[in-house]
């Protein structure tokens, strides 16, 4: 029996994409990395071509990364994958599930509807309301609706310069997503799930001079052993999205744990460096099991 034809949607040359492609190759003997920027949809034929191959002929596609940078354009790439799915290709995670997470506001709304504790948050296009939010919070994190690894985020503190900083942010981000800046004691957590099952938790510890904990800003991974109730919170947070693989971003505050977001794609490096876990291999094994079922 021929090995299943499985492609990895990602960024060629990037560690996480190549690691997942290696894991798939180890099981199937075949290695296919697909850059969505090179895909062509022909609606007349229903084909979704990449470098001479129709992706609709694959048994499965695993989405590790849909684009280097998050933007509304990413949503269009996910729509293309819906064509393959409609023609019988298994896509991990489901494109519609990922769609609900690319936009930070869509993720937030789903989490709040599920009664998941989050930082105090306001969303507005009105500059005066944004100023009022900063005045209320004292210190606020302004976040683009489409970004990863804290890119484009900024902290604005109550004071004389706040109005000008808000105007500068709004010039690039008309819909302003504003969260109260909380004391996270220099770390937050990545809680890893495979097909809804809890795998492990790693901590992201910030560099001393940065306000955020991302590795992009110099943070480091560390091991972390969460209490059962924290695992249950993260499990409830990721459950509405039905993802094949994800990381839930959680932080401990003086008032209890809060959830920042659920990742559309999850992090392999944090699982490896913080937990000693080969999440790419586990995801590849899961996909093979599902395809064979």
Whether residues 173 and 192 fall in one domain: no
Decide if 101 contacts 93 (C-beta within 8 A). Answer: no
**pLDDT beyond 60 at 253:** yes
Lowest mean pLDDT: which of 39-43, 82-86, 100-104?
100-104
Band of pLDDT at residue 69, cut at 50, 70 and 90? confident
| Domain total in the chain | 3
129, containing H or E segment: helix 127-137
Distance CA 118, CA 130 (A): 19
Residue 106 within a domain:
no
Please report how the helices 268-275 and 15-28 are oriented relative to each other, as an axis angle in degrees rounded to 10: 80
Decide if 190 contacts 249 (C-beta within 8 A). Answer: yes
CATH of the domain at 34: 3.40.50.20
Residue 42 within a domain:
yes
CATH of the domain at 188: 3.30.470.20
Whether residues 165 and 208 fall in one domain: no
Whether residues 155 and 199 fall in one domain: no
Average of per-residue pLDDT across 197-216: 75
Q: What is the C-alpha radius of gyration for the chain, rounded to an integer number of angstroms? A: 20
**pLDDT beyond 70 at 213:** no
**pLDDT beyond 70 at 225:** yes
Whether residues 167 and 243 fall in one domain: no
Band of pLDDT at residue 267, cut at 50, 70 and 90? confident
Whether residues 200 and 222 fall in one domain: yes
For residue 149, what pLDDT is reported?
73
Whether residues 77 and 151 fall in one domain: no
**pLDDT beyond 70 at 52:** yes
Whether residues 276 and 188 fall in one domain: yes
Band of pLDDT at residue 216, cut at 50, 70 and 90? low
Paired tokens of 263: 């990742």
Whether residues 162 and 191 fall in one domain: no
Would you tell me how many other CB atoms lie within 10 Å of the CB of residue 32?
Answer: 19
Mean pLDDT taken over the chain = 93
Average of per-residue pLDDT across 32-52: 96
**pLDDT beyond 60 at 211:** no
Residue 103 within a domain:
no
Higher pLDDT, 1 or 121: 121
CATH of the domain at 158: 3.30.1490.20
Residue 266 within a domain:
yes
Question: What would the pLDDT profile of 158-173 be if each residue is shown by its tens digit?
Answer: 999 999 999 999 999 9
**pLDDT beyond 80 at 219:** no
Residue 165 within a domain:
yes
Residue 129 within a domain:
yes
- Cα 194 to its chain centre, rounded Å, is 14
For residue 61, what pLDDT is reported?
98
Distance CA 192, CA 184 (A): 20
Domain boundary among 92, 111, 146: 92
**pLDDT beyond 90 at 108:** yes
Distances from the Cα of 229 to the Cαs of 232, 234, 235, 236, 256, in angstroms? 5, 9, 10, 11, 11
In this prediction the pTM is 0.91
Q: For tokens 């007349």, name the residue.
A: 44
Whether residues 154 and 170 fall in one domain: yes
Whether residues 19 and 73 fall in one domain: yes
Write out the residue range of the structural domain in which residue 169 sits: 121-180
Average of per-residue pLDDT across 83-108: 94
Band of pLDDT at residue 289, cut at 50, 70 and 90? very high
Residue 107 within a domain:
no
Band of pLDDT at residue 3, cut at 50, 70 and 90? confident
Band of pLDDT at residue 71, cut at 50, 70 and 90? confident
Whether residues 201 and 275 fall in one domain: yes
Average of per-residue pLDDT across 27-46: 95
Strands (E), 93-207: 121-124, 139-143, 154-157, 176-180, 187-194, 197-205
**pLDDT beyond 90 at 73:** no
Domain boundary among 52, 74, 92: 92
Whether residues 169 and 223 fall in one domain: no
Distances from the Cα of 152 to the Cαs of 148, 155, 176, 270, in angstroms? 9, 10, 12, 22
Residue 287 within a domain:
no
For residue 185, what pLDDT is reported?
77
Distances from the Cα of 269 to the Cαs of 105, 120, 150, 273, 279, in angstroms? 26, 30, 17, 6, 9
For residue 206, what pLDDT is reported?
77
């Amino acid at each position: 029996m021929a090995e299943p034809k499985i492609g990895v949607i990602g960024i060629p040359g990037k560690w996480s994409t190549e690691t997942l492609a290696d894991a798939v190759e180890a099981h199937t003997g075949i290695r296919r990395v697909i850059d969505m920027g090179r895909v062509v949809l022909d609606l007349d034929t229903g084909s979704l071509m990449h470098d001479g191959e129709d992706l609709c002929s694959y048994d499965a596609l695993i989405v590790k990364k849909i684009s280097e940078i998050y933007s509304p354009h990413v949503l269009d790439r996910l729509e293309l994958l819906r064509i393959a799915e409609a023609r019988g290709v298994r896509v991990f995670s489901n494109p519609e599930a990922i769609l609900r997470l690319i936009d930070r506001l869509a993720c937030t709304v789903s989490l709040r509807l599920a009664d998941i504790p989050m930082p105090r948050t306001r969303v507005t296009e009105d500059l005066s309301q944004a100023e009022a939010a900063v005045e209320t919070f004292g210190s606020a994190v302004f976040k683009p609706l489409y970004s990863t690894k804290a890119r484009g985020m900024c902290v604005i503190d109550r004071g004389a310069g706040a109005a000008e900083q808000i105007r500068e942010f709004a010039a690039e981000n008309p819909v302003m997503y504003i969260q109260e800046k909380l004391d996270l004691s220099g770390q937050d957590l990545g809680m890893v799930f495979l097909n809804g099952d809890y795998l492990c938790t790693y901590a992201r510890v910030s560099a001393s001079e940065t306000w955020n904990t991302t590795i992009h800003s110099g943070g480091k991974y560390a091991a972390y052993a969460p209490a059962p109730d924290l695992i249950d919170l993260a499990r409830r947070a990721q459950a509405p999205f039905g993802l094949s693989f994800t990381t839930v971003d959680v932080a401990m505050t003086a008032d209890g744990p809060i959830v920042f977001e659920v990742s559309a794609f999850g992090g392999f490096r944090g699982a490896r460096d913080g937990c000693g876990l080969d999440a790419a291999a586990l995801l590849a094994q899961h996909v093979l099991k599902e395809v064979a079922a």
